Structure 1
Amino acid sequence: MGDILIGTCSWTDKALVGSGWYPPGRRDAEGRLRHYAERFPVVEVDATYYALPSARNSLLWAERTPAGFRFDVKAFSLLTGHPTRTAALPADLRDRDTGDPGLLDEIWHRFSEALRPLREAGRLGTLLFQFPPWFAPGARAEAALHSARRRAEGWPMAVEFRHPDWWREARRDRTAALLADLDAAAVAVDMAQDLPTSIPPLTPVTSGDLAVVRFHGRSDAWGTGTKEDRFRHTYERDELMEWRPRLHSLADRAAQVHVLFNNCCADAAVRAAETMLDLMCPATHRRGATG
Structure 2
Amino acid sequence: MGDLLVGTCSWTDRALVGSGWYPPGRRDAEGRLRYYAERFRVVEVDASYYALPSARNSRLWVQRTPDGFVFDVKAFSLLTGHPTRGAVMPPGLPPDGRDPRVRDEVWERFAEGIAPLRDGGRLGAVLFQFPPWVRAGARGEDFVEECVRRARGWPVAVEFRHPSWWEEGRADRTSRMLTRWGVAAVGIDMAQTLPSSIPPVAPVTSSRLSVVRFHGRSTAWGRGSKEDRFRHRYQEDELAGWVPRLRDLAGRADQVHVLFNNCCGDAAVRAAEDMARLLGRTPVDG
TM class by shorter chain equals: over 0.9
Match of 1:114 in 2: 113
Post-superposition shift, 1:42?
A: 0.2
Post-superposition shift, 1:287?
A: 5.0
Would you say 1:230 and 2:229 are equivalent positions? yes
Instruction: Give 2:131's aligned amino acid.
Output: P
Correspondence list, 1:167-206, <5 A: 167-206=166-205
- For residues 266 and 97 of structure 1, the distance between their equivalents in structure 2, rounded to whole angstroms, comes to 35
Match of 2:241 in 1: 242
Correspondence list, 1:118-197, <5 A: 118-197=117-196
Match of 2:83 in 1: 83
Count residues with an aligned counterpart.
286
Q: 6-15 or 193-202: which moved more?
A: 193-202
- For residues 177 and 270 of structure 2, the distance between their equivalents in structure 1, rounded to whole angstroms, comes to 35
Instruction: Give 1:163's aligned amino acid.
Output: H
- For residues 163 and 246 of structure 1, the distance between their equivalents in structure 2, rounded to whole angstroms, comes to 23
Match of 2:71 in 1: 71
- For residues 9 and 160 of structure 1, the distance between their equivalents in structure 2, rounded to whole angstroms, comes to 14
- For residues 178 and 124 of structure 1, the distance between their equivalents in structure 2, rounded to whole angstroms, comes to 24
- For residues 188 and 212 of structure 2, the distance between their equivalents in structure 1, rounded to whole angstroms, comes to 5
- For residues 142 and 133 of structure 2, the distance between their equivalents in structure 1, rounded to whole angstroms, comes to 15
Post-superposition shift, 1:23?
A: 0.2
- For residues 185 and 101 of structure 1, the distance between their equivalents in structure 2, rounded to whole angstroms, comes to 26
Match of 1:278 in 2: 277
Please say if residues 38 and 287 of structure 1, whose CA atoms lie closer than 8 Å, have aligned partners that are also in contact.
Answer: no
TM-score by length of 2: 0.98
Correspondence list, 1:250-265, <5 A: 250-265=249-264
- For residues 171 and 92 of structure 1, the distance between their equivalents in structure 2, rounded to whole angstroms, comes to 42
Ranges of 4+ aligned residues in structure 1 off by more than 4 Å: none
Structure 2, gaps ≥5 residues long: none
Post-superposition shift, 1:244?
A: 0.2
Q: CA RMSD in A?
A: 1.1
Instruction: Give 1:218's aligned amino acid.
Output: R
Match of 2:42 in 1: 42
Structure 1, gaps ≥5 residues long: none
**Identity percentage of aligned residues:** 68
Post-superposition shift, 1:190?
A: 0.3
Post-superposition shift, 1:12?
A: 0.1
- For residues 8 and 68 of structure 1, the distance between their equivalents in structure 2, rounded to whole angstroms, comes to 16
Please say if residues 79 and 97 of structure 2, whose CA atoms lie closer than 8 Å, have aligned partners that are also in contact.
Answer: no
Residue 253 of structure 1: SS of its match in structure 2? coil
Post-superposition shift, 1:103?
A: 1.4
Post-superposition shift, 1:286?
A: 2.9
